[in-house]
Amino acid sequence: MIKIIKEEIEIEESLESRLKIICDFCNTTPTIINGIIRRVEHTNLTYIEPHRIIINDITFLAFNYFNEIFIENLNNKIKLS
């Protein structure tokens, strides 16, 4: 039987602070849901689920140590400066 192991990833501090600064400037409050690493036991298969940031009913996806944020899916991205 295949066993999938889930581990929660904490959002990087610098990424979280940049997002909060942007949201404070726009007078909104983000909802941040930490990402998850899913591993299939006894294999080298791993899936990294991105952090989800929800602002005004729009879902943004972000990865730690990555300078881009994705809007709704991984096709639409914007650069975080």
Sheet architecture: strand order including 58-62: 31-33, 51-55, 58-62, 68-71, 77-79
| DSSP bridge pairs for 48 | 37
Instruction: Enter the tokens of residue 55.
Output: 């602002």
Task: Report the number of distinct structural domains present in the chain.
Answer: 1
> Which domain range does residue 39 map to?
4-79
Model pLDDT for residues 12-63, shown as the tens digit of each residue: 999 999 999 999 999 999 999 999 999 999 999 999 999 999 999 999 999 9
Following DSSP, what letter does each residue of 40-70 receive, concatenated?
Answer: ETTSS-EEEEPEEEEETTEEEEE-TT-SEEE
Q: Is the pLDDT of residue 81 over 90?
A: no
Q: Mean pLDDT across the stretch 7-16? A: 94
